[in-house]
Structure formats: structure tokens, C-alpha cells
Structure 1
């Protein structure tokens, strides 16, 4: 049966891999794009998809942008994210604000707006978190704080929405070969070799496994780590 999914982050990395897999099997995609140019790129990439133009750096803009969501959604997949590394002593306020906005507040707001449609379909919310959502390391304070918060959001939401039949899953990928990982290496001043890291398709497989699980069960949390090399 064809399903309808609302996705953020479908333009690159894990979000792109998931969107391709869902589109290839004939599901309907509603893709969040930060601006009109990005929306045009996504609709060209995914024929038959629709877009919601909303800049996740400004969560206050999401409600108006998402007013026309479908009446039923089988899933909302939060795959967008930003990262800026730095010591707490040096990290400027805007780095904290942008990471908290995109990685935590925007997912909370988009989920809130989508809940009536998710309840109608007895759908699922899936958060693409990070290993940083479980453990924080030096220079990762702001990003890890946003991802720890995202775990708290998912855990609370799971209990709140269970009576409505809405499942909630968090996926915690380790370092994955994405444009974000390339940016992390640039910030760390390290050479980037994507072959050393998880293929986004492997994370997409874990995500689809959670989404496709029969509704009598839910995968609440799953960590995806690099395999032996």
C-alpha cells in the first residue's frame, strides 16, 4: 500500500538515501526545503513529490509554511541537521542558536504541526539523531546538547502519543559518509576518507526496517555503528 512521508534533509546524506528508497518503491514524498530554489531542485529529483518551503533555522516560520500538509501522514522523518564544533570557551552564541534551532526546536515544531495527520494514519515519527545524542566529547558541546535534547523529545513524545497509535523511533548513526561528515573533518582539520565511515545506504536500511515493522511493535532506539574494516 502506498504511504505518504514528510521528510527533512532529503537533499543530501542520510535523508537523500531514505527519500530515494521510499520514492523507488512508489511512496509519496512531502519534502521540506529551506527556500524556493532548493524546493525546485527536490521536485526535479523526486518526480511527483511535493514540497514545504520552511527554513529550519527559523522554527517560527514552520507553522504557516506547513499549513497545507496532507490529512494523513504515515511518517515524519527528521533527517536535517547542522553541526559547528568548538570549545565552550570559544563557541559564539549564534552557533548554539542555529544548532538548537535546526536540530531540536524545528523537529519539535514540525512534529507538533504534523501530529493530527500522524494520528489519523496511526503513523510514525522517526528522528535521525547521532552518537552525539548519547555521549558528548570535547568541542561537540552545542551539537551534542541539541541531540541529547532530541532524544528527550523522542522519549517524551513516545509516551504521549502511544494512546493515539503513533510510534516514535530514534536512530543513532555513528560517523557516516555524508557532506556533514566532510564538514566535520574540515572543522577538525583532518583529511576526509569516506571509505572509513558508514555508507548512508546502511543507515537508510535501518530506518526503513523501523518504518516497515508491523504496527504491533516499535523499534524505539537503534544505534548504527561502523562495522569491522
Structure 2
């Protein structure tokens, strides 16, 4: 069994991925900004058995390296980038901070964390999964900044795959799924949020875990998931 580090581990998909991996016998390292929420998520998964937590604030990629000092991470069989940020609006409406915030969290932070953890991933000949979005494949009106950050994330994954042939790299492009982010999106759109109207986060998580558990003689490079 392996060890997998998951960002955004207190979110819907991140927590579901961690739970599924743990149920399969793996050890998981949960990361997020809120120590209390991380501890609560760890307790729900396993009461602390084969679960570690690590506080990481991805809103400023320059702070990631100091946060990892002294962490003593083992070889990583999986690195799952599940954290994300969204701020919707037209190009005419979005302020510079809306662009900067999403590009930092959705693109620059995964790039920096990957850079810092590459020695651990290489040591295990591991697997990096980028949880992207349908917006990483197309840009719709009102989604410009978010889509730009996710298109850039796809480019990051493609470049990493070519640069690091000994590790596997997967981009997952989910459609809309039930989550707190989806609640925010629906509020912005002026609509009601009904979680039953969307894919479950667990469904998306199963796709991610299936990619991670693909036999080593193959790589799932890109997978789209629609409800």
C-alpha cells in the first residue's frame, strides 16, 4: 500500500478521495488551511489511523516551502491536487485580485507544491493528479479568470508528464458536482442549490482513485467526467 498527499482535503472531493484511498489500505496526508477542519476530517476517515494532517495555505505559493520544513514526508505514491478557488464574472467586471487569487490557488500553488514534492514522488515512481474542470477544456461567458487558471493547470500537467517520464500524471476534468463551491456558483448565478441535481463528489473521487490504481504499465492521462 502507498502514501498519498491530498490538497483541499477538507473539501468535498478531497475528503472523498482520502476516504476511498484509506478504505483501500493506503496512508493519506491531508492538507488544507484550517487545522481544526483537517483534524475533523481525519477523525471521520479513521480516527487518526494511517492519517496525517499538514496545514498548507495555497493562497500564497511563496509560503508553501516554509510550511513544509520539518514535515519529513515519506516517498509519495500519489499527489492529488484537489484544492481550488472560483470567482465568477465577466471580463468587464473582474478586478485584478479576482484574476490573481485564482491563478495563485489554481495554478501557481500546484506548480510550486509539485516542484517541492517531486523528490518524494520520484522516489516512489509516483503519480500526480490534477483535479481540473470542464472549464479547463472550454471557456464560457462569465468564467474567464477561472477558465484561464484551469487551462494553465492543464498545460502544467502536460509539461510535467513530458518532463518526468518516470512518474505518471493525470488531469481530471469534472463537470458540475455537489460541493460548497457549487453552492457559491449557484448563488452567483441567482439559482437554488440542490445537491441532488449534481454528480456526487464521491463519484468524482472514485474516478480519481481508479486513475491512481491503474496498473503501472499504463497511465490515464486525461479523463472527463460528466453528470
TM-score category of the 2 structures, normalised to the smaller one: over 0.9
Q: Mean alpha-carbon deviation: is it higher for 64-73 or for 3-12?
A: 64-73
Taking the aligned partners of 1:101 and 1:42, their CA distance within structure 2 comes to 25
SS of equivalent to 2:171: strand
Correspondence for 1:179: 180
Taking the aligned partners of 1:170 and 1:73, their CA distance within structure 2 comes to 18
The answer to whether residue 36 in structure 2 is matched with residue 33 in structure 1 is no
Correspondence for 2:205: 204
Residues 15 and 39 of structure 1: CA distance in aligned 2, closer, same or farther (over 3 Å):
closer
- Post-superposition offset of 1:40: 3.1
Correspondence for 1:14: 13
- Post-superposition offset of 1:109: 0.6
Correspondence for 1:222: 223
- Post-superposition offset of 1:25: 2.2
Taking the aligned partners of 1:187 and 1:211, their CA distance within structure 2 comes to 34
CA-based RMSD of the aligned residues comes to 1.2
Taking the aligned partners of 2:183 and 2:190, their CA distance within structure 1 comes to 10
Taking the aligned partners of 1:69 and 1:166, their CA distance within structure 2 comes to 21
Q: Number of residues paired by the alignment?
A: 223
Correspondence for 2:97: 94
CA contact (8 A) 1:85 1:139 kept: yes
Residues 220 and 28 of structure 1: CA distance in aligned 2, closer, same or farther (over 3 Å):
same
CA contact (8 A) 1:72 1:118 kept: yes
Taking the aligned partners of 1:153 and 1:61, their CA distance within structure 2 comes to 20
Taking the aligned partners of 2:73 and 2:112, their CA distance within structure 1 comes to 17
Task: Provide TM-score, normalisation by structure 1.
Answer: 0.93
Residues 35 and 199 of structure 1: CA distance in aligned 2, closer, same or farther (over 3 Å):
closer
SS of equivalent to 2:164: helix
Correspondence for 2:115: 112
Give unmatched runs, 5+ long, in structure 1. none
Taking the aligned partners of 2:114 and 2:142, their CA distance within structure 1 comes to 29
CA contact (8 A) 2:136 2:151 kept: yes
Correspondence for 1:62: 64
- Post-superposition offset of 1:127: 0.5
Task: Provide TM-score, normalisation by structure 2.
Answer: 0.94
- Post-superposition offset of 1:44: 3.0
Taking the aligned partners of 1:44 and 1:194, their CA distance within structure 2 comes to 24
CA contact (8 A) 1:69 1:114 kept: no
1:32-181 correspondence runs (5 A): 32-46=31-45, 47-48=48-49, 49-67=51-69, 68-162=71-165, 165-181=166-182
Taking the aligned partners of 2:21 and 2:72, their CA distance within structure 1 comes to 18
Taking the aligned partners of 1:82 and 1:174, their CA distance within structure 2 comes to 15
